[in-house]
Structure 1
Amino acid sequence: MSETILIENEELAVEVHPLGAEMQSLRTADGRDFLWNGDARWWTGRSPILFPIVGKAPGDLIAVNGKTYPMAQHGFARRRVFDLIDRTKAACRHRLVSTEATREVYPFDFSLVVEHRLDGRTLTVTAEVNNPGESPLPFGIGFHPAFLWPLPGAAGKTHRVILDNGAEPGVIQLENGLIGKTLHGSPFEAGRLELEPSLFENDALIFPEDAGTGLAYGADDGPKLHFIFENLPNVALWQKPGAPFLCIEPWHGMAAHAGGTAELVERPYTVALAAGESMRFGFAVEIRE
């Protein structure tokens, strides 16, 4: 397997592994790493790319026109080796394409290109999906980056998530990993959420809509991460209770409905990409101090 790719500029350094095109670190020039380290005692992920589904499927099976295929939670891209197709000092691009092996579990042709790019103190991660086939390509896609909680230099300080739009989006709870039917009241107050581990006792907080296109995470008088989302209407927050990280997850697509069908096209927020078309999704995160 190829080695991890390092990209850097005068402010930041990022490592990306070809397995899953997954970011491994996000360091400032003074050596502080803001990304979770993948400690297996808690969670081995760091920043997986979720494709061609986000979340779970009933019985780990998806259906396409009534035929079922095995599909693990969050899809297979995070477990596949991507090819490095372009690299500069401050950017790299990896690509995953359909093969006989992927078509056995997902009967479509596709190309998925993931780019990591640095500009000053901002990292931008994008995923472009292309449909080279002759029929619509159904999929969900998402990002699952985990950041330290507390952030470097903010130990002992209260951390918050603050939505740029000041909204109070409703939250959906998972039922055995699947999307529940009830939209519950928001944990946000005027766009602000004070973080505590008890919020995640019942798994992730999932906001299917109205969380907006940007948010900040951090302590009031410490470092902060500011996010901008591109074409990603669903947002989730997740911590394994007590673990020293917070996942900030923008998605286009969610788990299947609890008690619903396994049909891929009926999953909430599934994209149906027309033949010959491409679509881009992404997030940018800026470290502010």
Structure 2
Amino acid sequence: MPETIRIASEQLAVEVSTLGAEMQSLRTGDGRDFLWNGDAAWWTGRSPILFPIVGKAPDDRLAVNGKTYPMAQHGIARRREFAIIEQTATSCRHELVSSPETREVYPFDFRLVLEHALDGNRLSVNAAVRNTGEALLPFGIGFHPAFLWPLPGADGKPHEVILDNGGEPGVIQLEGGLIGRTLPTSPFKAGRLTLKPDLFANDALIFPEDAGTGLTFQAEDGPSLHFAFENLPNIALWQKPGAPFLCIEPWHGMAAHAGGTAELVERPYTVALPAGEEMRFGFTVEIRN
């Protein structure tokens, strides 16, 4: 059975499950919950890790050198039990290593370590992927945290996402969960996007590049969350239509192209990690107000 452990600073407390090394709650010292609660009426996820793919594969089949393997959306890690390898009062580390079971669907050797760490009002979530095999390790990786929308205490107030770089990044339309065409205009204007549910009527908004390395999710005259991203060039925003949450998803890797190949190495932004090497990815979120 999964085990849930708790870490805390003076200002924040976080719970993390061994199932998928998935964060279960993010709560401030004054008792406000910021993370989505996983209500099955909308979406059971809370903050899954996406590995070794981000998004869908055509017909849920992934190809490696012409051989196909079953691969559900967002990969295998979110459904696997991780081992707790380290815990302190303010941090914890979970580990998933390749096994005969994982190699049946993803024929590579790897070690994936997830770390959650608190420092005051800031949470850091970091992933380290090590290639423990002898061949190149192809993979995508991403984070999928869902935060309450409206934010605590901000019912009825306008919410927006503001890019640190002030950009107007191009947005991709998904087609059956796969990467489709780039839309002609960006929903961001001078780096600002006012959130409305109809933005997500056709699934997530995918920004493959130019969204920068940081953004703020905020309510007018209310709380805000500031994010910083490391080695995660792709950003997605998603709400299941009508649900009271917003997913802010930094990725290194995206779904397969609609009408394209199922080959893992052909997926956009796939990493090819040499044998014996390790690569790190992560984000921080700072709760303000």
TM-score (normalised: structure 2): 0.99
Tell me, yes or no, if the aligned pair for 1:181 and 1:257 is still in contact at 8 Å: no
Q: What is the aligned partner in structure 1 of residue 286 from structure 2?
A: 286
- Which residue of the partner structure matches residue 96 of structure 1? 96
Match of 2:252 in 1: 252
Any conservation in 1 of the 2:3–2:19 contact (CA below 8 Å)? no
Which runs of structure 2 are paired with 1:62-81 in the superposition (5 Å)?
Answer: 62-81=62-81
Q: Which residue of 2 aligns with 1:33?
A: 33
Which amino acid in structure 1 is aligned with residue 287 of structure 2? Answer: I
Instruction: Give, as a single letter, the amino acid of the residue that structure 1 aligns with 2:130.
Output: N
Q: What is the Cα deviation at residue 2 of structure 1?
A: 4.2
* Contact 2:170/2:182 (8 A) holds in 1: no
1:30, CA displacement in angstroms?
Answer: 1.0
Identity %: 79
The Cα offsets for residues 15-60 of structure 1, whole Å up to 9 and x where unpaired, read as 0000000000000001111000000000000000000000000010
Q: Which residue of 2 aligns with 1:215?
A: 215
Determine if contact 2:174/2:181 at 8 Å carries over to the other structure: no
Partner amino acid for 1:285?
Answer: V
- For structure 1, which segment, 25-34 or 179-188, has the greater mean C-alpha deviation from structure 2 after superposition? 179-188
SS in 1 for 2:35: coil
> 1:1-289 maps to which residues of 2 (within 5 A)?
1-289=1-289
**Residues in 2 aligned to 1:241 and 1:181: alpha-carbon distance in whole angstroms:** 21
CA offsets per residue over residues 89-144 of structure 1, 9 Å max, x none? 00000000000000000000000000000000000000000001111100000000
What is the Cα deviation at residue 153 of structure 1?
1.1
One-letter amino acid of the counterpart of residue 166, structure 1: G
Structure 1 residue matching 2:142: 3-state secondary structure: strand
Distance 2:184 2:49 in 1: 28
AA aligned opposite 2:109: D
Contact 2:122 2:285 in 1 (8 A): yes
The alpha-carbon deviation at position 220 of structure 1 amounts to 2.6
Letter of the 1:75 partner, please give it: G
Partner of 1:62, secondary structure, is strand
Backbone CA RMSD of aligned residues: 0.6
Q: Residue 142 of structure 2 contacts residue 251 of structure 2 at CA under 8 Å; is this kept in 1?
A: yes
1:182 Cα shift?
Answer: 2.9
What amino acid sits opposite 1:134 in the alignment?
A: E
Residue 73 of structure 1 deviates from its aligned partner by 0.2
Which structure 2 residue ranges, 5 or more long, are not aligned?
none
Query: Contact between 1:162 and 1:217, CA under 8 Å: does it hold in 2?
Result: yes
Distance of 1:161 and 1:43 partners within structure 2: 22
Following TM superposition, by how much is the alpha carbon of 1:184 offset from its aligned partner in structure 2, in angstroms?
Answer: 3.3
Alignment-mate amino acid for residue 262 of structure 2? A
Name the SS of the counterpart of 2:199 in structure 1: helix
Deviation at 1:183, TM superposition (A): 4.4
Equivalent residues, number: 289
Letter in 1 for 2:271: V
